[in-house]
Every structure is written in C-alpha cells, then in structure tokens.
Amino acid sequence: MIANQSPADEYREIGGRFTRVVDAVPDDATWNNQSPVAAWTARDVVRHLVEWFPGFLQAGAGVTLPQGPSVDEDPAAAWHVLNEGVQSLLDDPASAGRTLSNPHIGEVPLPEAVAKFFTSDVFMHTWDLARATGQDDTLDPERCAYLLEGMQPLDELLRSSGQYGPKVDVDEDAGPQARMLAFIGRDPDWRA
C-alpha cells in the first residue's frame, strides 16, 4: 500500500479504475479482442480476476463472495458483483480481525492479503484490459514503481510460479510503468 492508504481505500481506487475500463468496453465484440497476455482475450482478463480470487478467499479465510453471472454471459456484470463483494469485505470493520491462511504465505491479516494479492493483480490487469480494448492504459507511476520494487527481490519465486512470463527488455530510461510491465512479462509496446 502507498502513503498510509487503507486496504479498503486502495481497493476503492484501483477497483474503481478497473470498473471504469470494464464499463467503457464499447460492445460485445470487443470482449473477444486479443489481450497482451498471449492466451487471453479481453473477456479472459476479467475471467481471471473473477474466477481465481473467490476460491483463494474461501480456502484461506472461509469467506464466500457473492457470485454474479458467468463471464461468458456478461463480463461487466460478473466483474461488478465481484468488485462490490470485495469492497464490502474490505469496508467491513470485522475483516480487520480476520486472517487468511495459505501454505505458501502462512497467516496474513485478511485486508493485507487482499491488498497484496488481489488489489495488485487488478492494478496490473487494468493495463491488459485497457490495451486490449483500445482505452487509456496509463497506470499510476508511483504505484508501478512501488510494485516493481516489491517484486524484484522475489524474481525467481514469481517466475517459477508460472504467473509471470519471461522479462521483456526495455530501455534503461524507460518509465516506471514500462519497467513494471516488462518485469511481469508484458511488452509495453504491445498493440492488438
């Protein structure tokens, strides 16, 4: 988290930006556009977020998020239901006293786990969805630098997880967004 921002406020900002990108997808056909992730369409970017996180929360904290329609049926509505569920969870004062348990990360306070694993994922995938759908894909440079700084020491672990592709070479003078994207295996110059 940046500058004393609570997990709830951080998610409100980042989830809100992703929601605006989702809502600005111009038509149903655009959901089938290729994304910067080789095997994914724009719809698959939303599918990834909607499908992995509820299971992670259920397994690690016994939290059941509301379920919306399938991403195939209505990706925007599926995202809205998940987004509202995550925001409600973070806004609930009782969440502060809960933990998430995971064999790879141990016991982590629930709001911190959401921020570390989901909010950062939503932030990075905002670029994927915006780029796939022809929207403004500018990310907050301070947050890009912050995420990159936190990920670099975990390079080998992250790469071996299969969640990140090989690093992409960028110019030495590349900005924080390009460097962060290149680190997670995205070509900052990718175009549909």
pLDDT at residue number 151: 86
pLDDT tens figures, 133-192: 999 999 999 999 999 998 888 777 777 777 788 889 999 899 999 999 999 999 999 988
- Matching residue, tokens 């977020």: 49
Alpha-carbon distance of 143 to 38, in angstroms, equals 25
pLDDT at residue number 1: 53
Q: Is there a contact between 18 and 124 (Cβ–Cβ < 8 Å)?
A: no
| Domains annotated on the chain, with CATH | 7-138 (1.20.120), 139-192 (no CATH)
pLDDT at residue number 144: 97
DSSP for residue 34: B
